[in-house]
Amino acid sequence: MEEPASNEAQMHGNDDSIPGSDVVVPPTAASQNPTPSPSPLEPSTGKRKPCKKESDVWEHFEKYDLVLDLKGVDGSKRKEVEKRAKCKYCSATYASTKKNGTSNMWKHLNKQCLQYPYRHNDKNTRTLAFDASKGNALVSRNFNKDDCLDACIRMVVRDELPFSFVEGEGFREFCSVACPQFNPPSRRTLGRRFLEMYTKMKEKLKVDLRSHRICLTTDTWISVQNVNYMVLTAHFVDSDYKMHKRILNFCVIDSHKWESIGKLLENCLIDWGHEKILTITADNAAANTKAIEYVRKKINGWKDSNSVLGGVHMHMRCSAHIINLIVKEGLKRLESSIVAIRNAVKFVRSSPSRLSYFKMCVETEKIECKGLVVMDVPTRWNSTYLMLDAALKFRKAFDRMGDDPDSSYLMYFKEDEGDDERIEGIEGSGKGKGKSKTNKRTFYDVTLKISASLHPTSHSTFHDLLAIDGEIRELYRYDVTIPIEERTTMDTLLNDMAASMKKKFDKYWGELHKVNPFLMIGVVIDPRFKLRNLKHIFEEIFENDSTCDRLVAQKTNEVKQLLINMYEVYKPSSNNMGATSTTNESGGSTNNETDSSLVFGGRKRKTMMEKWKKIQQESENVVITHEVDRYLLDPLESIDEEFDILGWWRINGLKYPTLA
């Protein structure tokens, strides 16, 4: 049973307004540190005790007794005491009996007292403040209680604070100094207002999403408490060509089976009332594949389905996840060496004294490097790369700690010669110098690049996949150039690593038909490359094939046809030119038998006009379709790594409206 609102206001000083007044009373020490009140229920009767509280107006008025000398009609004299209240700021006085109430005193504070220091919420009184939303411009504004409460909620949410934070003494004291007009709410008031804001923002987001075709990403994982979670995120580009990311759902899921994932995706889309889905990106797991296929069938079965080309290319495999699998496959041969380095880093960061000793070794070896060694997260290979990269820079410092017989480092970290030789061959000297690091750096950079969520990556991902394939092939090529008699154990190791990684790469991207064609469309709509770049790539892929020209032409035409098919989906529907034939210019109805324009020629003339309308519509369709050819034939933009593709399409949207 919920407590009465009046009790809550008394205990927490909420923002309930005082009848007949707009004054915001500054909190006092008593309101900030309320004393425990007795139980509201009587043990014997169960009746609620009377709860009385003096009005807050007495924080601004003093009670006193006014003694009056009165004279009766018979000439007798007597004294009478009158209860009065005196303003602490201007000495104005008012009667303070129960019959008089406190309305006059509140009115005095609101409108009459010129010395009252807390009347800053007057609508006519404005203050100067810096507005962050306008570039910290200096603006004038008045105090608004609702705006302050909403800002308080945003602070709690963004900083991940508990709702009880607003009831802390420190926060309330800060508000009393920084903004005396703002009366901090209780946690319950904050919670209720939070749910109201959430509902309003969700409805607004629903409206905003309806005008956009969105791409979804989803992921599932198990927490340390063995609870299955799933998140669903939407990405879209607005009318100003700005990319947005919105989390639509974060919830507990029964299991990682495709049935649970698929039904949860379906229910979420129904809840948001959105059908315009372009792609769904998920980890490369069989359950995700079946779940997305289930969602695709459901969307196609909905009335007025808006799926692109029947959703045949809806499933987008997560490139970052596949890269993670490829790299882990290659690192299996180096597992013992990686564990040894991880232990060395763990030793350095395990205590302040060991870290100080390591810093001393760094200074002694005169290593000019900012930062220190970092620990990795074994399930995230890119963090392992950062650990290895940092450890390599401080290798001399580790060697010095190993040469010190009095150091506890040798007791903590023992490494046999085999592991040391393996590290030496990969990262140190010999013909393998730097090669493994160069390859891993490429994988690391690509992972960061395609994992971005606030700028587009689809136009560059296909090139990144080709770069990864080239790096893996480079390991093979490098090994072949070394004569057999000169090959070392490390050369064989690198070759084995490349073989494992190549096998994993070919499983997902080894052939063009395994790559989602939308990634190739992304290259085409990049004005720096277009279809000419894809044709060049196909020529390199099929250069050793006897039917190279035929295969290149076939793949190029397939991509172009897919672009045209997508163009037909996105182009505005043409007006039905024959639909208005029943209305004349003046708006009246038209009869074919009496229309003067059809008297001569009759039905023959009508047939001629219908044929011409059909030819005109076909001609317009051809002209519109030529927008694709016009774009493909226009000059390419210069290669620039900082190229803003969304900015380019914003500028050229009038020239290529449907492609944009």
Q: Which residues contact 381 (CB under 8 A, 6 or more apart)?
A: 324, 327, 328, 331, 443, 447
Q: Note the pLDDT of residue 427.
A: 40
**Mean pLDDT for all residues in the chain:** 77
* pLDDT for 609 beyond 60: yes
Helix locations, 253-334, DSSP H: 258-272, 286-301, 319-331
Read off the pLDDT of residues 103-127 as tens digits, 9 standing for 90 and up: 888 888 887 887 777 665 455 556 6
Q: Which residues contact 585 (CB under 8 A, 6 or more apart)?
A: none
Q: How confident is the model at residue 598 (pLDDT cuts 50, 70, 90)?
A: very low
* pLDDT for 483 beyond 90: no
Q: What is the mean pLDDT of residues 644-659?
A: 92
**C-beta separation of 298 from 277 below 8 A:** no
Gap between the Cα atoms of 196 and 477, Å rounded: 63
Read off the pLDDT of residues 566-575 as tens digits, 9 standing for 90 and up: 998 888 765 4
**C-beta separation of 126 from 77 below 8 A:** no
Which residues share a beta bridge with 94?
85
Q: How confident is the model at residue 538 (pLDDT cuts 50, 70, 90)?
A: very high
DSSP 109: I
> In terms of pLDDT, which residue wins out, 5 or 291?
291
516-555 b/e with 16+ CB inside 10 Å = b?
bbbbbbbbbbbbebbbebbeebbeebbeeeeeeeebbeeb
Whole-prediction pTM: 0.66
> Counting every residue, how long is the chain?
660
Q: For residue 98, give Cα distances in angstroms to 6, 50, 84, 85, 390.
A: 20, 17, 11, 12, 78
User: By three-state DSSP, how is residue 131 classified?
Assistant: strand
Which residues share a beta bridge with 163?
none
DSSP 589: B
Q: How confident is the model at residue 266 (pLDDT cuts 50, 70, 90)?
A: very high
* pLDDT for 52 beyond 70: no
Q: How confident is the model at residue 440 (pLDDT cuts 50, 70, 90)?
A: low
Cβ count within 10 A of residue 45: 8
Beta strands in 162-319 (DSSP E): 214-222, 228-237, 243-252, 277-282, 315-317
Q: Note the pLDDT of residue 43.
A: 44
Helix %, strand %, coil % of the chain (to 5): 55, 10, 35
Q: Which residues contact 324 (CB under 8 A, 6 or more apart)?
A: 380, 381, 382, 447
239-270 b/e with 16+ CB inside 10 Å = b?
eebeeeeeebbeeebeebebebbbbbbbebbe
> In terms of pLDDT, which residue wins out, 230 or 381?
230
Q: What is the mean pLDDT of residues 463-481?
A: 78
**C-beta separation of 637 from 527 below 8 A:** yes
Rg (CA), the chain: 38
**C-beta separation of 228 from 216 below 8 A:** no
Q: How confident is the model at residue 233 (pLDDT cuts 50, 70, 90)?
A: very high
Q: How confident is the model at residue 290 (pLDDT cuts 50, 70, 90)?
A: very high
Burial bucket for residue 453 (CB in 10 Å: 0-12, 13-18, 19+)? exposed
**C-beta separation of 215 from 281 below 8 A:** yes
Please report the sign of the dihedral spanned by the C-alpha atoms of residue 643, residue 645, residue 650, residue 651: positive
* pLDDT for 347 beyond 90: no
Q: For residue 511, give Cα distances in angstroms to 118, 469, 537.
A: 74, 11, 13
Q: Are strands 277-282 and 214-222 parallel, antiparallel or unpaired?
A: parallel
Gap between the Cα atoms of 560 and 556, Å rounded: 6
**Rounded (10°) CA dihedral 486, 492, 498, 501:** 180
**Least confident segment among 73-77, 280-284, 481-485, 640-644:** 481-485
Give the orientation angle of helix 435-450 with respect to helix 417-427, to 10 degrees: 70
Q: Note the pLDDT of residue 625.
A: 53
Q: How confident is the model at residue 44 (pLDDT cuts 50, 70, 90)?
A: very low
Read off the pLDDT of residues 84-101 as tens digits, 9 standing for 90 and up: 899 988 888 998 888 888
